[in-house]
Structure 1
Amino acid sequence: MPRNVVVLLDNTEGRAMIKKTCKENNLIFAEFEELVQAEVEQTGKQRRAGLWDSFDDILDRIQVEE
């Protein structure tokens, strides 16, 4: 993920806060990052073609791993 795009993920305190929140909500931090990355890759595009497919793929993998 390009640095400085998501400020909370770009600094130690923000990452710690997100990791804690992920843990409290039974979400693996790496999976959260992957979902954010899918969204970031769509930044600047007029149409977000493929975003929902990317989300579906990521979320399907999460459910399978459980």
Structure 2
Amino acid sequence: MTLFAQEKGSKLIKKHCRAIGLPYGDLKRLVEEVVDKSTMGRRHGLWQAFDEVLGESLEETED
């Protein structure tokens, strides 16, 4: 998560997110899910968490 905390890193991430059409906040949430699941030794539920984050993003785009 260090990359998100640094100004240069945050700018780089935002640039790439814009290029691929993924909201910055969604990417941050996805990374947080991966970190949370790996530190707890639980991979179960990771894909479901991804589906929820990306599904919310899709719903916002459609509105």
Q: Same fold (TM over 0.5)?
A: yes
**RMSD (Å) for aligned C-alpha atoms:** 1.2
Aligned residue in 2 for 1:46: 41
Task: Give the gaps of 5 or more residues in structure 2.
Answer: none
More helix by share: 2
Shift of 1:47: 3.5
Give the total of aligned pairs. Answer: 61
Letter of the aligned partner of 2:45 in structure 1?
A: G
Aligned residue in 1 for 2:56: 61
CA distance in structure 1 between the partners assigned to 2:57 and 2:39 by the alignment:
27
Runs of 4+ in 1 over 4 A off after TM superposition: none
Shift of 1:59: 1.1
| TM superposition score normalised by structure 1 | 0.80
| TM superposition score normalised by structure 2 | 0.83
Matched, 1:33 2:28: yes
How far does the alpha carbon of each residue in 1:6-49 deviate from its partner, in whole angstroms, 9 at most, with x for none? 22112110011001111111111111111111111112333411
